[in-house]
Structure 1
Amino acid sequence: MAATAAANDSFRVSDVRVEGLQRLPVERVYAALPIQSGDLVGPREVAEAVRRLYGSGDFEDVQIGRDGDQLVVVLSERPSISRLEIKGNKSIDEDNLRKGLRDAGLAEGEVFRRSTLEAITGELQRQYVAQGRYDAQVDTEAVPLPRNRVALNINIYEGSPASIRDINIVGNDVFSDAELRSVFELKPRGWWPFGSRHRYSRERLSGDLERLRSYYLDRGYINFSMESTQVAVTPDRSRVYITINVDEGKRYRIGEVRLAGDLVVEEEDLRPLLLAKPGEVFSQRIITQSAELLTRRLGNEGYTFAQVNDFPEVSEDGETVDITFYVDPGRKVYVRRVNFSGNVKTQDEVMRRELRQFEGAPANTALIDLSRERLQRLGYFGLVEAETPRVVGSEDLVDVNYTVEEQPSGSIGANVGYSEASGFIFGASVSQSNFMGTGNRVSFALSRSDIRDSYSFSHFNPYYTLDGVSRGFSLYYSKIDFSKATVASYAADRIGAAVNYGYPISEYSRLDFGFGYDNIEVTSGDFVAEDIYRFMMAEGNEFNLFKLNASLRTSTLNRGILPDRGWSQTFGVEVASPGSDYMFYKVSWNGERYFPISRRWTLRTRADVGFGDGYGDNNILPFFENYYAGGIGSVRGYESRSLGPRSDAITYVNQCELNPANCVRDPDPDPVGGNLLVEGSMELIFPTPFAPESRNVRTFFFVDGGQVFQTETANNLYEFDAGEIRYATGIGLTWLTAIGPLSFNFARPLNRQSGDDTEFFQFSLGQVF
């Protein structure tokens, strides 16, 4: 047998013999070997074969020899990785680290290559240095195992990020060091040891340098440059000093602002979108915003892939910069299909009826975005994204793809209990805003106890007609058996029904109107307020009411549940019409607005005002239609419906008016509400510590204020007193769960008065506030 890799004489191979394999199949060798039986082989073919086998990466040694007319291939396999263990990594996620190792060929079952391991070790070391962990160490160990296998152990000591001792900026004359340092996220370490802003990171420093460049460009210094950046590390590798050398250059103002290119939209329509004005200080941010506005305007005309590039040029006087916006509209494109993905429950029809961009029409950026906003405002989806990819093989067709992420859109609850006052209690409720994916809102509730039965059902169809006319109806029944009750005050048994219709009058406004019937029978308890008692003596205790209602709602909120942008307001009127046993009206207004402070911080304001009165022969609002305040959704920190006027000092037992000796005072007077409601609140919404990016969890600080007032009774008139308004502050959390929105609030009243009922912790299910 010739043992050398290069034979002097060529020969024709009668057979190929492979020796030395332990783990790999021989077929893998034949696949890499460029020589087969019958080939004429010489030194060149042998050298190529050796190169190919080495190139496969499976072998540490390759020898090719000749035994007569047989080609003999002797191989020494590389070991395979039997086990890979990583210890000590914390700042780099282990799943991501293993994925990177697998992509590089270091994974269990793969062939072990020491050169790859050394390269990975060096890369890990560089990543830790980029994080400012200069004392990090990465040690690797390959432990031989039987059957030509190895176990890889990667032991990492991450160390501690170096702290920034000082950030020194050299060459700045226009802006002070303090002004420029305020742009940076990285800060020198001060007396406060917590936080991460003082920890050096190459990536964060790169971001700060870009912010510094933008700071100058937005203030007219278009020739600003950073000459060099040095990062000096102390010998103990625990601190770094950053020095940035800058050249500020000259400040420029804007000269001429021109439009060039193919102006498919009239120039007079594009000019108002140019935020950059002659004579103003040059600002790259304003220039970029102008180009984006022009691009969107062209997108509204169907030029979805239009490009607008800005070209600043120093004018001849050397004092100003002329700006030219070059417009390349591209081809006008049309929508081939609108596709939805991610909607497991919601029917396609429910989503499609919210669209304002239609198939076959020119692609309109504004309508595509408006359709996305309308889907978001439904409240069924936590996230809605839109993409407009080109149709393969076509230059003038796109698909509009909406990707949605469904979220809980209802609530469910049940309760079983016992109390001395009510006996055994059983209750259940279900409310679903997207019933079975149809977009209809359905809710029902029932509650039964020894003294009280209550049932209700409602249904709302937002698209009763194809053009968006809505219809809803509700049925309700409630009755209390006062012969078995030991409660005070009064109770109103109710049975009724209502029908409501809505009509869209604009993209953001809607007019609703309806009518209903309400039968109310009032039963008094052992104690009853004097005014209520006199009202019942004069008007009776049973009322048949025919109610008419109308409301106008305008909303630009960006989401149906837990919005953080936009505003809404609703003005409503309810009237007990002539023919009713008692005639009255109620007028209300409520509104809310969100003020973005930053990407994650938002200020929310809310206000509610309501007033009711009688008309015709009836001169006051009936007590059973009074407003109440207090609790979640009102003034937190006070018990629900506990604020406002309470029962009069003189109360009645067995018609004590006929026998004054029977009159006693109510030891614990109940709230009776009022005909005037005034409420308001402010919330500072901030990122939730354990879920900063989640749209299903919201945390906030709040300040609430509100009260209800009784401005008139049958015999007296009273004035509104702002000094009686109650205030509270606290912190709250709202969480959208599978069973409905959960709200938790910790509140402290700010001006509690004697007799007020307060609560430090309040909880609710099914109400978002």
Structure 2
Amino acid sequence: MSRLKYPRTAIACAVAAFALTARAYAFDPFTIADIRAEGLQRLEIGTVLTYLPLAVGDQLNSATSRQAIRALYASGLFQDVQLLRDGNTLVVRVQERPAISSFEIKGNDKIGGDELNQSLKNLGLAEGELFRRELLDQVEQELRRQYYANGYYDVAIESKVTEEPNNRVSLKIEVTEGRVTKIKDINIIGNTVFDDQTLLEQLELRATNWMPFQRSDRYSKQKLVGDLEKLQSYYQDRGYLKFNIRSVQVALTPEKESIYITVNVEEGDVYKVKSRRFSGETILNERFLEALTTTRAGDIFSRKEATESADRIEAALSDIGYAFAEVTPIPEVDEVNKEVSINYYVEPGKRAYVRRISFVGNTGTNDETLRREMRQLEAAPFSKSAVERSRVRLTRLPFIEEAEVETKPVPGSDDLVDIQFKIKERPPGSVQFGVGYSGAQGFLVTGQITHTNFLGTGNRIDASVENNTISRSINLGWTDPYFTADGISQSISLFYRESESVIRFSSGFNSNILGANLTYGIPLSEFVSLRAGLGFEEVALETFPGTTSDEVLQFVVRNGTRFSTYQFRTGISYDSRNRTFFATRGALHALTLDLALPGSDLQYFNASYRAQTYVPLPYRFVIELNGSVGYVDGYGNDDDVPPYENFFAGGPRTVRGYRDGSLGPRDTPFGNEFGGKLRTTAQAELVIPLPIESDGKSTRLSGFFDIGNVFAEPADFEFGELRQSAGIAFSWFTPFLGLLDLSYAFPLNAKEGDRTDRFQITFGSGF
């Protein structure tokens, strides 16, 4: 076809909204007899016809031509489109977008990685995709924004597009990161009530100081906005209702190495609370609402207290079914007297009911095992506190690491919600097996299996076997936490032990103990439970002339060598911890009593009290306080205590830094650890947040101070005899060994004869 022989009239042109390169010519409408495409390289004519909203027999006019061009541009396949006429043939002349033959980013050490590469691939900037210049510009702008957000204001980003044969291009982005731009100084102007240092402490951004690895001196617009909000909150929480930030100047030095920030503030006057009232649909009794608010007449106005009061009212309403209640504290200002009347406007919405409760993520746990921990029930009114308590009960299960809850409105209903718990499980048990040799104990064979979620039921099994030269033992245990539907637990244990020592060193006697226990746990309230059960032990002792300690010989002379003991086991506990492992708040108090019943060959009791308290601190620090007191003694006409019932101290669970069980009285004449009737220990720990883990649910680092000892009789207690230690500890919930505890301690007042052991390790003890 020749242009001279067959003159063409270009028909439709360019839609201004696209601002592209299509041309517009005047034309007369005509009926399309044929369609031909020009300029195709990789694409086929069929592809063009697929996106072209015209066919043979259609009329081409100004309206249909605009629609055609829009459709072809919208396909993303072309960077230029023209519609031409050749007689009654529609000629579609296109310029295809080039394909990306390669794409590379170099020099982006601080920003990027696999996550950035995946994001670029999702955008369409990857090998084989069609090239669009606007996408490349967007990537360049986003990279620059991210570098600015991380303090790199000297960054240089250059994009290179290289044309290649067959309508392809190679893309390359070269990044020169430069040095981090740091905040040289932050100035606050206009403040007279609070000094600069006090206000600067409220900000997350800081001027560069001497501290290594400082990151708070990197300027970020988002962080600055947050800091200005903190500054405003600080003033408004102290009565300065009209506090205003008049201006903010951010100055970058010419070499882009330093930033100076100047904040100009207007403090205003202090406002006091004049009164409070409640409006809207309050639902609750006004006297009850007043008890929930802390904004009292005559107090200095605090935005924080007003907001927290509104939150407490919302929580109270949510506990009776109003899941989407909104309470807005509206300050009504008296400018003359500088007073504020707070109007709590209540919008309860409709009362909501729970349609369905579901669980996701529980691959190894039966649905019913989780559902029985629910305090929020299906078909019942929604209760925020019941839902939260249900979540906490899930996290307290030893095989659950984390539980998150989400409340979802039911589509098409304004009074129904669904509750979904997202479960993250932890290893439910540990398996340990070992074979070895010890000069003191000979060949060793040990095995232990612990599982806290047997077959997904939440039942616990324990089985252990140990065999060496001086001891042999078999222990079997089973616990069903829901023996009855209302939460009464049942525990059964069987054990057999042969031993030639009390704890670590032999006192010259052998003991064979066969026993069984049956114990029930009875919940008295959400936090309080009662323990009650029975136990039986059959004990045989064997002594040896010249090697048995005087204490053991005297006990045998008075009581013989064989004993049958029937025990009553009871106790009461209060537990409000938010997690079983690595708790961060709450407390545990447990009082137990094991009593050898009248009719037993020996009559004695073993009483103990244990307390744990967790106090959360700012910046994810936590204080953990542990204390215990144990006392064992005979009763009636018998004040003898079997040697194997004595208390021992020293080691990871009592006083770290001293060898396990080494503290307290020793036997005569050999000087081996023999234990005593009274044990007192206390541990204080400061839990330090780890940067490698944000939630602290599987690892924990702490600094500790331990104190304690064991005394032969309560009358022997002396504060000066309590051993002390300090050090650092690390705990890790491992996949196979259970809870692994490492500690390094410095004994602070060890005395002559004490056996110290600075580094100590235990594992599998967390269940």
TM-score range relative to shorter protein: over 0.9
- AA aligned to 2:584 is D
2:486 paired with 1:467: yes
Question: What is the 5 A alignment of 1:255-654?
Answer: 255-315=274-334, 317-450=336-469, 452-480=471-499, 489-524=508-543, 527-648=547-668, 650=669
Counterpart Cα distance in 1 of 2:132 and 2:505? 85
Counterpart Cα distance in 1 of 2:214 and 2:92? 62
Q: Spell out, residue by residue over 1:115-169, the C-alpha distance to the aligned partner (whole angstroms, 9 max, x if none).
A: 3312321332233223321111112222334432222222222222212111111
1:367 deviation in Å? 1.4
Match of 1:724 in 2: 721
Q: Spell out, residue by residue over 1:731-767, the C-alpha distance to the aligned partner (whole angstroms, 9 max, x if none).
A: 1111112111111111111111112111121111112
Contact 1:257–1:276 under 8 Å retained in 2? yes
Q: Spell out, residue by residue over 1:644-691, the C-alpha distance to the aligned partner (whole angstroms, 9 max, x if none).
A: 11122x3xxxxxxxxxxxxxxx3xx32111100000010101112322
Match of 1:704 in 2: 706
1:462 deviation in Å? 1.3
Contact 1:2–1:65 under 8 Å retained in 2? no
Distance of aligned partners of 1:378 and 1:193 in 2 relative to their CA distance in 1, 3 Å threshold: closer
Distance of aligned partners of 1:692 and 1:357 in 2 relative to their CA distance in 1, 3 Å threshold: closer
User: What is the DSSP-based 3-state SS (H/G/I as helix, E as strand, rest coil) of the residue aligned with 1:437?
Assistant: coil
Counterpart Cα distance in 2 of 1:239 and 1:74? 54
1:415 deviation in Å? 0.6
Q: Spell out, residue by residue over 1:493-547, the C-alpha distance to the aligned partner (whole angstroms, 9 max, x if none).
A: 2111111112111110000011111112223466333222221222222221111
1:66 deviation in Å? 2.8
Counterpart Cα distance in 1 of 2:441 and 2:141? 74
Question: What is the 5 A alignment of 1:218-233?
Answer: 218-233=237-252
Match of 2:20 in 1: none
Counterpart Cα distance in 1 of 2:614 and 2:8? 84
User: What is the DSSP-based 3-state SS (H/G/I as helix, E as strand, rest coil) of the residue aligned with 2:638?
Assistant: coil
State which drifts further: 380-389 or 44-53: 44-53
User: What is the DSSP-based 3-state SS (H/G/I as helix, E as strand, rest coil) of the residue aligned with 1:534?
Assistant: helix
1:422 deviation in Å? 3.7
After TM superposition, the score normalised by the length of structure 1 is 0.93
Question: What is the 5 A alignment of 1:211-222?
Answer: 211-222=230-241
Counterpart Cα distance in 2 of 1:47 and 1:343? 56
User: What is the DSSP-based 3-state SS (H/G/I as helix, E as strand, rest coil) of the residue aligned with 1:129?
Assistant: helix
After TM superposition, the score normalised by the length of structure 2 is 0.93
Counterpart Cα distance in 2 of 1:545 and 1:634? 28
Q: Spell out, residue by residue over 1:468-517, the C-alpha distance to the aligned partner (whole angstroms, 9 max, x if none).
A: 111111000112489xx995533422111111112111110000011111
Question: What is the 5 A alignment of 1:181-260?
Answer: 181-260=200-279
State which drifts further: 518-527 or 210-219: 518-527
Counterpart Cα distance in 2 of 1:418 and 1:115? 72
Match of 1:662 in 2: none
Query: Percent identity among equivalent residues?
Result: 39
1:233 deviation in Å? 1.2
User: What is the DSSP-based 3-state SS (H/G/I as helix, E as strand, rest coil) of the residue aligned with 1:278?
Assistant: coil
Counterpart Cα distance in 1 of 2:667 and 2:469? 26
- AA aligned to 1:328 is E
Counterpart Cα distance in 2 of 1:737 and 1:5? 75
User: What is the DSSP-based 3-state SS (H/G/I as helix, E as strand, rest coil) of the residue aligned with 1:701?
Assistant: strand
- AA aligned to 2:686 is L
- AA aligned to 1:685 is V
- AA aligned to 2:531 is D
Counterpart Cα distance in 2 of 1:680 and 1:279? 45
2:10 paired with 1:5: yes
Match of 1:660 in 2: none
User: What is the DSSP-based 3-state SS (H/G/I as helix, E as strand, rest coil) of the residue aligned with 1:214?
Assistant: helix
What is the alpha-carbon root mean square deviation over aligned residues? 2.1
- AA aligned to 1:116 is L
User: What is the DSSP-based 3-state SS (H/G/I as helix, E as strand, rest coil) of the residue aligned with 2:658?
Assistant: coil
Counterpart Cα distance in 1 of 2:507 and 2:559? 21
Contact 1:376–1:559 under 8 Å retained in 2? yes
The runs of at least 4 consecutive aligned structure 1 residues that moved more than 6 Å come to: none
- AA aligned to 1:754 is E
Contact 1:82–1:109 under 8 Å retained in 2? yes
Match of 1:94 in 2: 113
Counterpart Cα distance in 2 of 1:136 and 1:324? 51
User: What is the DSSP-based 3-state SS (H/G/I as helix, E as strand, rest coil) of the residue aligned with 1:610?
Assistant: strand
Which residue of 688, 691, 702 maps to 1:689?
691
User: What is the DSSP-based 3-state SS (H/G/I as helix, E as strand, rest coil) of the residue aligned with 1:74?
Assistant: strand
User: What is the DSSP-based 3-state SS (H/G/I as helix, E as strand, rest coil) of the residue aligned with 1:434?
Assistant: strand
Q: Spell out, residue by residue over 1:62-86, the C-alpha distance to the aligned partner (whole angstroms, 9 max, x if none).
A: 2332333322222221112233222
State which drifts further: 487-496 or 515-524: 487-496
Contact 1:287–1:310 under 8 Å retained in 2? yes
Counterpart Cα distance in 2 of 1:26 and 1:683? 76
- AA aligned to 1:720 is F
User: What is the DSSP-based 3-state SS (H/G/I as helix, E as strand, rest coil) of the residue aligned with 2:612?
Assistant: strand
Counterpart Cα distance in 2 of 1:690 and 1:326? 44
Contact 1:421–1:486 under 8 Å retained in 2? no
Contact 1:699–1:733 under 8 Å retained in 2? yes
Counterpart Cα distance in 1 of 2:228 and 2:345? 29
- AA aligned to 1:702 is F
Contact 2:500–2:506 under 8 Å retained in 1? no
Contact 2:9–2:27 under 8 Å retained in 1? no
Contact 2:506–2:672 under 8 Å retained in 1? no
Contact 1:132–1:202 under 8 Å retained in 2? no
Counterpart Cα distance in 2 of 1:337 and 1:354? 15
Contact 2:97–2:130 under 8 Å retained in 1? yes
Which residue of 654, 674, 677 maps to 2:676?
674
Counterpart Cα distance in 1 of 2:369 and 2:441? 44
1:100 deviation in Å? 4.3
Q: How many residue pairs are counted as aligned between the two chains?
A: 744
| Unaligned stretches of 5+ residues in structure 2 | 1-5, 12-25
Contact 1:63–1:74 under 8 Å retained in 2? yes
- AA aligned to 2:40 is L
Contact 2:360–2:423 under 8 Å retained in 1? yes
Distance of aligned partners of 1:551 and 1:93 in 2 relative to their CA distance in 1, 3 Å threshold: farther
Counterpart Cα distance in 2 of 1:112 and 1:504? 68
2:761 paired with 1:763: yes
1:582 deviation in Å? 1.3
Counterpart Cα distance in 2 of 1:527 and 1:88? 76
Contact 1:608–1:680 under 8 Å retained in 2? yes
Distance of aligned partners of 1:529 and 1:79 in 2 relative to their CA distance in 1, 3 Å threshold: same
Counterpart Cα distance in 2 of 1:254 and 1:564? 36
Which residue of 131, 138, 152 maps to 1:133?
152
Counterpart Cα distance in 2 of 1:151 and 1:491? 83
Distance of aligned partners of 1:23 and 1:259 in 2 relative to their CA distance in 1, 3 Å threshold: same
Which residue of 739, 742, 765 maps to 1:741?
739
State which drifts further: 612-621 or 567-576: 612-621
Counterpart Cα distance in 1 of 2:523 and 2:698? 29
